[in-house]
A and B are shown apart, each in its own frame.
Chain A
């Protein structure tokens, strides 16, 4: 595996970890403890603590598991019989400089990526690396922090553009542990420089000790703002016929974090924290499909094209909703420069939103897709594949090669790899196909040459054999292909039929492409 970034260093280096026993009273945010999960003990980081009548509960992130599995656990599930890892205030300073200097010269790519992610992040921990006199509460965006130490990591961030929504980038740009060490670092800084003072989100200046006390005794959300976005803020979602559990933080109104159930209107995607209000709204709302033009229809699904600029409210609602399930999506900027292609299923009540992908009106980097999401209640039914397929169908219509914006989420990666493999194998397995270039494959599929090449490599299909390159249809992919054909014979193939796509690539004047505020 490639480099593991500072995150890897943190755990990999022999730096002594500050270990020790903790009690329920001394345990605090940033501590890593062993937590019972599915019958086993997993290392987990405490991200938030709340106190209720039945005792404290802890919001934990399981190390090396996706954040969608983060959860509130009762104190009883934390194994305090084992030592916990304390956040490392003393070490951090030295380490951070080391990390920074290492990141800059040797791992430019990662450094860039990180920095870029940082700069876009809406809720990002400030890059405390350089900000000696910054305290936690007053975190500024990294591009503004003016230390010399972080120049290496930061300058690329400054020059990078801000594509607003990344498929996934940026909600939580940092490796949890690295963020943790920065936190700790900041704590150390403020300890030495600011005499234990920190500023809370509300702006009052309190000492570190007071803050911890407050975290322990007060509500969960008064803590340091950099932590907020790491904690899921909605508990449950009512949408259409389903109750859905959100996966990640989304900047719905902050009072929504206090209610148990948030109601989402299935058609206009408006949100309500009050059932009666939601019902009243439903009585008035007349939308029965996404508010745009239908550009594709078959007997199974429809696609609607919605312009972020014309349907600002709806698209904002959509983004808020999808942020609940996309970790790396950012809502930092507005929706204007995007088009939203929404997939729906139909019944007599309307066109039900199933999933969507967004696409920049004008992508400087040739991305044909920015964010892609299938609602959890519709997942694992092949909708994601249809969405991906549709995005390439649009690219074909445009006569362009395209690729999704990076980074991908874990599910996104699997979905794309599957689509890429199946699409390529379908072409390669055609009878009379004796030879083909990567470029031809790219043109036929609208995939970029890079994606074609990498897919072939990943599935071990591109090999060097007796001094020549060959594409090998491995037994494995052939078998997969045949299985799929059989399945489609039984269940019927769900495919995008290009003939049903009524769409011309929209043309935007320069003024509407830019952010015309």
Chain B
């Protein structure tokens, strides 16, 4: 850098890898700068430091730097053509498949018997075969190798540490144990003889394997410094925790992706279905329109036939004239022949009504049956199957105070009481219960509680109600008892207040007030008319009384309750 200072230059701009650099030819720029450039940066070669200085390498580097690439030559030892009979050893057996080769057999799979005969073995085998009775068969090279290999392998198995502790050569007896399992019968014949040969050869190499082996670790201290020891096992590398976590989260992401993919596919399929459906609908609509035209035409031309062409041949697939309803075959004919169509329609209604009735009958039967079962018993369980008779109220509650899950079939008691134990709003509330309940209500329409919602001043929301049953009904006696001293439960407190709005109580109040007024009037009139005309007074009084009562009764009507909703 000081060089630049010396030349009165500023330090060169920093070069970032993203910066676009103009490409120019040498002739486009001045050559002046060259000197500085060459020593601009020292680039590491990547060669081992100690070898960087090697003469041939330096020469080659300098040659390439000067552009004399051909001189960049590093001498290496010569290779020469071998005088081996290559063609005999490597027969031309390879034929290239049309597709790329896929191959997974190992060297062991492809090399046959791992033991290979040496010249020494050849000599022995020849002598052995000559000595043998020709009728008894000869030992082939392959068999010989198999047997030798067996000895080698057995020795390896039985004396795995032969190279360290120098045990004596394995005896033939020891070999025989293993022999039965591994060697085939024709080989066993020769085993004994070959064993002697094998033994002598093993002795010659201090009981080391006959085929030179690579040196693997033995667990001894000398391993590390022994240059012949190779292919060590890796010490188990501690798997970094972050890695594991990475793998885990990757796995999670993969799963998530798959799930999303599945969902997407589902949606796509649904869309496909709906598109198909829309198409179908439009086609059917078109069909219907055209049929209408056909019908019109038929009428005009007065063609009378069985009108088969106006209905679909498959009865299930009908033109949808009324979108959501299940199209019925008779309905199609409706516009055609009014009488018949009406009949058909009637029929359907009848069927439906009958079904309804059947269900209701069934339910009623069940209810009565249930009551019969429980006759003479008083069910005092928490949520009794059939409520005890004294708690029967004829007025439906405004609001169930609690909802209890009934493990037993719903109570068959046909009273408003049910609402206290069942969640009316729940969709689970069975249909037949509702019907029976409505029926009960229909019996006494004036008893039905009714509500009116209205918006008051300042946007207050008011709910007016009438015919409210006494609140006490809401309370299970056990629970009421439980809450008796529970001051915190302010929600439950108004239970008692609402009594004041009970019709009965209000009536009572009205009557007592009326009575008081009546009494006052009686007293005043008694003063005025005194003892005279007692009978007349008595009659008039009776009339007055009746008027009063009537007016108070009408006043009783709607009792307004303002419920401020939050």
Contact A349–B60 (Cβ < 8 Å): no
Minimum Cβ distance to chain A for residue B101 (Å) = 4
Residue of B nearest to A136 (CB): B225
Q: Which residue in A5, A139, A268, A348 is a CB contact (below 8 Å) of B50?
A: A5
Q: Which residue in A68, A310, A349, A478 is a CB contact (below 8 Å) of B25?
A: A478
* Chain A residues near B13 (CB-CB < 8 A): 464, 467-469
In the bound complex, CA of A376 to CA of B101 (Å): 26
Q: Which residue in B49, B215, B237 is a CB contact (below 8 Å) of A253?
A: B215
Contact B25–A472 (Cβ < 8 Å): yes
Cβ-closest 10 pairs across A and B? A123-B227, A175-B50, A253-B212, A515-B234, A284-B112, A277-B116, A348-B92, A229-B227, A331-B230, A245-B77
Q: Which residue in A64, A417, A469 is a CB contact (below 8 Å) of B53?
A: A64
Chain B positions 78-105 with a Cβ under 8 Å from a chain A Cβ: 78-82, 84, 86, 89-96, 100-105
In the bound complex, CA of A201 to CA of B86 (Å): 40
Max count, chain A CB within 10 A of own CB: residue among B17, B36, B57, B237: B17
- Given A168-B48, A351-B94, 8 new contacts (CB under 8 A): A7-B53, A238-B82, A289-B103, A312-B106, A412-B47, A454-B43, A478-B26, A479-B67
Q: Give the A interface residue count (CB, 8 A).
A: 164
Q: Is B136 positioned at the interface, with any CB of A under 8 Å from its CB? A: no
Q: How large is the interface on B (under 10, 10 to 19, 20 to 34, 35 or more residues)?
A: 35 or more
* Chain B residues near A311 (CB-CB < 8 A): 106-107
A-B contact pairs, 24 of them (CB 8 A): A123-B227, A140-B225, A242-B81, A252-B214, A256-B212, A282-B89, A302-B101, A313-B107, A313-B108, A349-B94, A350-B93, A413-B57, A418-B69, A433-B23, A436-B23, A439-B18, A454-B43, A457-B40, A463-B34, A465-B30, A471-B24, A473-B23, A478-B25, A517-B233
In the bound complex, CA of A281 to CA of B112 (Å): 8
In the bound complex, CA of A470 to CA of B247 (Å): 45
Minimum Cβ distance to chain A for residue B108 (Å) = 6
Number of A-B contacts (CB under 8 A): 384
Q: Which residue in B57, B119, B222 is a CB contact (below 8 Å) of A276?
A: B119
Q: Is B55 positioned at the interface, with any CB of A under 8 Å from its CB? A: yes
Minimum Cβ distance to chain A for residue B240 (Å) = 10
Q: Is B56 positioned at the interface, with any CB of A under 8 Å from its CB? A: yes
* Chain B residues near A440 (CB-CB < 8 A): 20
In the bound complex, CA of A458 to CA of B61 (Å): 10
Contact A295–B100 (Cβ < 8 Å): yes
Q: Is A363 positioned at the interface, with any CB of B under 8 Å from its CB? A: no
Q: Is A297 positioned at the interface, with any CB of B under 8 Å from its CB? A: yes
Contact A272–B116 (Cβ < 8 Å): yes
Q: Is A287 positioned at the interface, with any CB of B under 8 Å from its CB? A: yes
Minimum Cβ distance to chain A for residue B242 (Å) = 13
Secondary structure at chain A's binding surface: helix, strand, loop or mixed?
mixed
* Chain B residues near A292 (CB-CB < 8 A): 103-104
Secondary structure at chain B's binding surface: helix, strand, loop or mixed?
loop
Q: Is B345 positioned at the interface, with any CB of A under 8 Å from its CB? A: no
* Chain B residues near A291 (CB-CB < 8 A): 103-107, 110
Quick check: which of A46-54, A80-88, A190-198, A402-410 contacts chain B, the rest being far away?
A402-410
In the bound complex, CA of A391 to CA of B80 (Å): 29
* Chain B residues near A68 (CB-CB < 8 A): 76-77
In the bound complex, CA of A98 to CA of B72 (Å): 37
Minimum Cβ distance to chain A for residue B243 (Å) = 7
* Chain A residues near B141 (CB-CB < 8 A): 280
Q: Is B260 positioned at the interface, with any CB of A under 8 Å from its CB? A: no
Contact A458–B65 (Cβ < 8 Å): yes
Contact B21–A438 (Cβ < 8 Å): yes
* Chain A residues near B55 (CB-CB < 8 A): 64-65
Q: Which residue in B22, B67, B75 is a CB contact (below 8 Å) of A435?
A: B22
Quick check: which of A151-159, A207-215, A332-340 contacts chain B, the rest being far away?
A332-340
Contact B227–A376 (Cβ < 8 Å): no
Contact A317–B239 (Cβ < 8 Å): no
Contact B234–A279 (Cβ < 8 Å): no
* Chain B residues near A7 (CB-CB < 8 A): 49-50, 53
Minimum Cβ distance to chain B for residue A393 (Å) = 16
Q: Is A400 positioned at the interface, with any CB of B under 8 Å from its CB? A: no
Max count, chain B CB within 10 A of own CB: residue among A254, A314, A335, A477: A254
Chain B positions 145-174 with a Cβ under 8 Å from a chain A Cβ: 145
Q: Contacts A251-B214, A333-B231 hold; do A435 and B20 have CB atoms under 8 A apart?
A: yes
Q: Is A244 positioned at the interface, with any CB of B under 8 Å from its CB? A: yes
Q: Is A514 positioned at the interface, with any CB of B under 8 Å from its CB? A: yes
Chain A positions 123-140 with a Cβ under 8 Å from a chain B Cβ: 123-124, 126, 137-140
Q: Contacts A238-B84, A314-B107 hold; do A1 and B76 have CB atoms under 8 A apart?
A: no
Chain B positions 25-51 with a Cβ under 8 Å from a chain A Cβ: 25-27, 29-30, 33-34, 36-38, 40-51
Q: Is A494 positioned at the interface, with any CB of B under 8 Å from its CB? A: no
Q: Is A106 positioned at the interface, with any CB of B under 8 Å from its CB? A: no
Q: Is B113 positioned at the interface, with any CB of A under 8 Å from its CB? A: yes
* Chain B residues near A347 (CB-CB < 8 A): 92, 94
* Chain A residues near B226 (CB-CB < 8 A): 123, 201, 225
* Chain B residues near A376 (CB-CB < 8 A): 76-77, 79
Q: Contacts A285-B111, A435-B21 hold; do A251 and B48 have CB atoms under 8 A apart?
A: no
Interface flags for A416-446 (1: CB within 8 Å of B; 0: not) read 1110000000001000011111111010000
Q: Is B181 positioned at the interface, with any CB of A under 8 Å from its CB? A: no
Contact B82–A268 (Cβ < 8 Å): no
Contact B107–A294 (Cβ < 8 Å): no
* Chain A residues near B53 (CB-CB < 8 A): 1, 4, 7-8, 64
Minimum Cβ distance to chain A for residue B227 (Å) = 3
In the bound complex, CA of A452 to CA of B514 (Å): 111
Contact B49–A316 (Cβ < 8 Å): no
Q: Which residue in A69, A110, A414 is a CB contact (below 8 Å) of B72?
A: A414
Interface flags for A228-268 (1: CB within 8 Å of B; 0: not) read 11000000001111111101010111111000000000101
Contact A470–B49 (Cβ < 8 Å): no
Q: Contacts A4-B49, A245-B78 hold; do A280 and B26 have CB atoms under 8 A apart?
A: no
Contact A377–B111 (Cβ < 8 Å): no
* Chain B residues near A57 (CB-CB < 8 A): none
Max count, chain A CB within 10 A of own CB: residue among B10, B72, B108, B228: B228
In the bound complex, CA of A336 to CA of B237 (Å): 14
* Chain A residues near B356 (CB-CB < 8 A): none
Contact A253–B214 (Cβ < 8 Å): yes
Q: Is A476 positioned at the interface, with any CB of B under 8 Å from its CB? A: yes
In the bound complex, CA of A126 to CA of B222 (Å): 12
In the bound complex, CA of A466 to CA of B24 (Å): 13
Q: Is B255 positioned at the interface, with any CB of A under 8 Å from its CB? A: no
Q: Is B232 positioned at the interface, with any CB of A under 8 Å from its CB? A: yes
Minimum Cβ distance to chain B for residue A121 (Å) = 9
Q: Is A499 positioned at the interface, with any CB of B under 8 Å from its CB? A: no
In the bound complex, CA of A227 to CA of B354 (Å): 109
Contact B111–A268 (Cβ < 8 Å): yes
Q: Which residue in A2, A348, A416 is a CB contact (below 8 Å) of B42?
A: A2
Q: Is B122 positioned at the interface, with any CB of A under 8 Å from its CB? A: yes
